[in-house]
DNA sequence: GGCCCCTTATAACCTATGTTATTTGTGATC
DNA sequence: GATCACAAATAACATAGGTTATAAGGGGCC
């Protein structure tokens, strides 16, 4: 995954879901991109701001954070290489959340007027970009189900299954082994738990023998078992080729 | 709101967010629609099914339900007149949730090949349909934040604020009064609570003097106060005209 | 090697919410 | 107007998860 340029990255986000024609690819490659880097903890997009470009992840991890009046925050989504963090900004313009770099991060910004151009010249690519936002919605629905109805341990298990799938597709996980460069406080903000309970839940997962988790390194011992335990069904990730 | 035809309904969903040209309107009106009705409790779309049309709400209330292996269910979204329940099905094809009629319901189905046609002839309408799915995503993010970080009472307050806004726009709420034709078990499935605690929370809301709630009738006494109490900020609903 | 800061871990205690069961209310039906 | 069925309400009890505080690891830096 080293040295992949931003266009390759984008193409590889589409191809697990649909085939691209050479015209599609040429069109994608004609879009100007602005590469930017951020340090760990930096805010990439501010909550309540208006946006005119959207950002594709190249390397690193980012999260969408919602800050509540109470001072609490919820991370509503996690993003890794190949994810469009805020493509919804193209049709919404208004950002109801911030985007924060959870690690050092490299991203590629696409201007909205370029995306608009695509809606004028390529219905197919338009539908594919659109699809990325609806897959995002599917992930969010799954998160809602987890937060609303799954106890902490299953919730964590489900997250690990999802990350395994997503990281595998971009080559960042092999044999159900991968790195999660997040501190427990960030995980707590993702799973809607307190830090203390987040810690307890990780211990419980270890005790259950389902994973080895040392530092940022995670090894899932029996993926099928974890999948079953946490009610994970990968279909919502839409990693399947279809005519779109 | 009586006697509104499905095209009017659809147009009124767009116009709070952007202006439609007469061409746009003509094009919308050229789409064939299939009207269907469902009784309370009927399943309109099955979880894990493949779809080739999407459904616009005319009357009644529906919900997106996710059924977990544990037997629990989470309702991830609520839909009223003017909402496209499963427009994301156009780009996803696969339904990660079911759609269930929570009251007697009338809907209008649009075939996906018609929507596809629109992506070929009207970039503007395409972006507007796309926008509906991204607004849906914004609502989902807010739900995630509520489930993850708000206690039951605020969660309920937030939901009532959202419903107030959405129902007002389609003429189903006036002066912060409206009907919620849902039983407490359904509300519990929306807010991620048990039925018993749902009941307690409603009582608490009454005791706090924030609303009157008799049968299905809800009266919000001081909307500003409820808004503040529950951390509600309507901007995520995107009821604002913008060039899209 | 020692110090500092951040993170993880542990402990004790508290509370919001869940569970199971029973009672009360209410609207539909005969 | 009695009965039935379902929803709302209440009660007693159990527990997952929150809170506050402190301790233990671990890596960078002088």
- B176-204: per-residue pLDDT in tens? 999 999 999 999 999 999 999 999 999 99
Cα of B129 to nearest chain A Cα, Å? 9
CA distance B213 to B182: 12
B115 and B205, same domain (yes or no):
no
CA distance B161 to B240: 17
DSSP secondary-structure letter at A70? T
A51-82 in b/e form (b: 16+ CB < 10 A) is: bebbbbbbbbbbbbbbeeeeeebbbbbbbbbb
- Chain A positions touching B191 (Cβ under 8 A) are 148
| Beta-carbon contacts of residue B192 (< 8 Å; ≥ 6 apart) | A147, A148, A149, B74, B147, B155
Q: What is the pLDDT of residue A3?
A: 58
Q: Which of B78, B137, B231 is the mutation pick for testing A, counting most A CBs within 10 A? A: B137
> Of B71, B140, B70, whose CA–CA distance to A153 is shortest?
B70
B64 and B111, same domain (yes or no):
yes
> Of A227, A223, A236, whose CA–CA distance to A177 is shortest?
A223
> Of A162, A163, A176, whose CA–CA distance to A212 is shortest?
A176
- Asked if residue A243 belongs to a domain, the reply is no
A107 and A197, same domain (yes or no):
no
Q: Per-block average pLDDT, block size 10, for chain A (244 residues)?
A: 80 97 97 96 97 97 97 97 98 98 97 98 98 98 98 98 98 97 98 98 96 95 97 97 93
B157 and B233, same domain (yes or no):
yes
Q: What is the pLDDT of residue B4?
A: 76
- Chain B positions touching A235 (Cβ under 8 A) are 48, 94, 96
> Of B123, B63, B115, B65, whose CA–CA distance to B87 is shortest?
B115
User: Per the CB < 8 Å rule, is A134 touching B64?
Assistant: no
Q: What is the pLDDT of residue B3?
A: 58
B135 and B178, same domain (yes or no):
no
CA distance B198 to B187: 7
B175 and B87, same domain (yes or no):
no
B41 and B89, same domain (yes or no):
yes
Q: Which residue range forms the structural domain that includes residue A163?
A: 151-237
> Of A229, A76, A219, whose CA–CA distance to A156 is shortest?
A229
- Asked if residue A27 belongs to a domain, the reply is yes
- Asked if residue B227 belongs to a domain, the reply is yes
Domain end, chosen from B107, B127, B143, is at B143
B127 and B195, same domain (yes or no):
no
**What's the predicted TM-score (pTM) here?**
0.96
Q: What is the pLDDT of residue B1?
A: 45
Domain count, chain B: 2
Enumerate residues 213 to 242 of chain B having a beta carbon within 8 A of any beta carbon in chain A.
231, 235-236, 238, 240, 242
User: Per the CB < 8 Å rule, is A126 touching B126?
Assistant: yes
A95 and A178, same domain (yes or no):
no
Q: What is the pLDDT of residue A1?
A: 45
CATH code of the domain in which B57 resides? 2.60.120.10
Averaged over B104-111, what is the pLDDT? Answer: 97
Q: Is A211 exposed, middle or buried (0-12, 13-18, 19+ CB in 10 A)?
A: buried
- Chain A positions touching B192 (Cβ under 8 A) are 147-149
- Asked if residue A100 belongs to a domain, the reply is yes
CA distance A70 to B154: 11
CATH code of the domain in which B200 resides? 1.10.10.10
Q: Which of A113, A125, A145 is the mutation pick for testing B, counting most B CBs within 10 A? A: A145
A53 and A166, same domain (yes or no):
no
Domain end, chosen from A99, A125, A143, is at A143
- Asked if residue B243 belongs to a domain, the reply is no
Q: 3-class DSSP state for residue A46?
A: coil
pLDDT cut 90: percent of chain B above it: 98
Contact A146, B96 (CB under 8 A): no
- Asked if residue B114 belongs to a domain, the reply is yes
- Asked if residue A176 belongs to a domain, the reply is yes
Averaged over B87-108, what is the pLDDT? Answer: 97
- Asked if residue B229 belongs to a domain, the reply is yes
User: Per the CB < 8 Å rule, is B69 touching A231?
Assistant: yes
B121 and B157, same domain (yes or no):
no
A156 and A212, same domain (yes or no):
yes
Domain end, chosen from A143, A175, A198, is at A143
């Amino acid at each position: 995954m080293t040295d992949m340029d931003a266009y390759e990255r984008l193409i590889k986000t589409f191809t697990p879901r649909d085939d691209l024609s050479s015209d599609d690819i040429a069109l994608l490659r004609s879009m100007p991109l602005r590469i930017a880097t951020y340090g760990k903890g930096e805010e990439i997009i501010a909550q309540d701001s208006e946006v005119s470009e959207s950002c594709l992840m190249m390397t690193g991890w980012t999260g969408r954070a919602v800050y509540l009046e109470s001072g609490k925050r919820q991370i509503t989504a996690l993003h890794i290489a190949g994810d469009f963090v805020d493509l919804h900004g193209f049709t919404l313009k208004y950002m109801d959340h911030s985007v924060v770099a959870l690690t050092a991060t490299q991203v590629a910004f696409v201007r909205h007027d370029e995306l608009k151009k695509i809606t004028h010249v390529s219905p197919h690519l338009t539908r594919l970009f659109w699809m990325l936002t609806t897959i995002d919605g599917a992930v969010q629905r799954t998160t809602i189900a987890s937060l609303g109805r799954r106890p902490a341990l299953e919730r964590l298990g489900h997250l690990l299954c999802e990350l395994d799938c997503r990281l595998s597709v971009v080559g960042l996980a092999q044999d159900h082994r991968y790195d999660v460069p997040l501190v427990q406080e960030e995980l707590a903000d993702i799973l809607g738990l307190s830090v203390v309970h987040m810690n307890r839940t990780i211990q419980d997962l270890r005790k259950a023998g389902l994973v080895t988790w040392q530092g940022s390194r995670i090894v899932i011992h029996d993926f099928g078992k974890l999948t079953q335990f946490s009610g994970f069904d990968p279909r919502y990730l839409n990693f399947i080729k279809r005519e779109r």
